[in-house]
Amino acid sequence: MENKAHAIAAGLFLLLLGLALAASVAWFQGDRTERVHYTVVARSGVPGLNLKAPVKLRGVEVGYVDSIGFDPADPRQILVDIAVDAAAPVSASTFAQLGLQGVTGLSFIGLEEADAKAPLTRAAPGARIALKPTLLDRLAESGPLLLAGFAETADRLNALLSEGNRAQLNRSLVQLEQAAGDTSRLMAALQPGARELPVFLKDADATAQRASAALREIEALAADSRQLTQELKTRVAVLDRLDGAAVQLQTTTRNLELALVGDTPPRTRPLVADLSAASRSIERAARDVGEQPQSLLFGRSGQPPGPGEAGFDARLKAGGSK
């Protein structure tokens, strides 16, 4: 009986010890963190997402997936209930995306801020968070369009690289090569001229300077010519007045001669003759100046040589040649 009593006592002790160990493990593994629940709304699928999958906010794990199911109000939507640490800064502008956990194919929910610089406004408990497609999801959705575009591009390339177009392209390349050779020869021919171009430009500059100086001299000569013309006009006006005076003097002298021819005393006749000669001299001088007004500035030109004078024969030859 004593042996049975000891066996029963040992069995009870082991049972109690096992229960105590199980309670300790349950105590230490229990989650006593305060959680806030949010609902992630997915319009597309959630492949690889399981219960207890981690929830990360900007890469930091802050919770887990509590449940996954279809929306009773709209079966095309999937509702994912997540439990997040109450201290996690989940704002009203937070959105969710699916991420991959390594190479296992399992997914997790990543929470991101739409505007990280905006003031933080915490989301209310139970708020809905939109699940946005990732880059891979967008590529998968646009895959058929990309394939159709690639196929169309391939068809156009095949049409572009037809036999006729390839022959035309070969001819164009040959012509381009010929044009490049012609250009090289032209450049080689232009090099000597290009080397002489600085000297030519220097000569052109010097010529331009000389032309400018010549223009200034021409302007000075034109000014002198205008001044000389004005002086000649003044002198011609004076000569005109002198000619008029000489004509008036000659007329007066002739009238005087006619008046005195009958009863002029002999001793006054020489005076009248002198007056007549003087008037004729004045008239001749006025006529010469009128014919050659430049003689007032440059002097009278010499009379051409007459017969027997030096230069007469040369003048005759010159006149004959003309």
pLDDT in tens, 21-42: 877 766 666 556 788 999 999 9
Backbone CA torsion sign across 285, 286, 291, 293: positive
Evaluate whether 70 touches 79 at the Cβ level (below 8 Å): yes
Q: Residue holding tokens 């223009």?
A: 215
CA distance 57 to 63: 9
Bigger pLDDT: 235 vs 135: 135
CA distance 115 to 41: 20
Bigger pLDDT: 230 vs 35: 35
* 125-153: pLDDT as tens digits: 888 999 888 777 777 667 777 778 888 88
Number of domains the chain contains: 2
Q: What was the pLDDT predicted at 322?
A: 43
Q: What was the pLDDT predicted at 189?
A: 82
Query: What residue numbers bound the domain in which 239 lies?
Result: 233-302
Whether 310 is in a domain gets the answer no
Q: What was the pLDDT predicted at 291?
A: 62
Among candidates 88, 80, 136, which has minimal Cα distance to 112? 88
Whether 177 is in a domain gets the answer no
pLDDT at 259 over 60: no
Whether 117 is in a domain gets the answer yes
Whether 178 is in a domain gets the answer no
Average pLDDT over residues 199-220: 81
Q: What was the pLDDT predicted at 321?
A: 43
What is the Cα 66 distance to its own chain's centre? Answer: 62
What's the mean per-residue pLDDT of the chain?
76
Whether 111 is in a domain gets the answer yes
- The residues, any chain, with a CB within 8 Å of residue 105's CB and separated by 6 or more, are 48
Whether 22 is in a domain gets the answer no
Q: What was the pLDDT predicted at 68?
A: 92
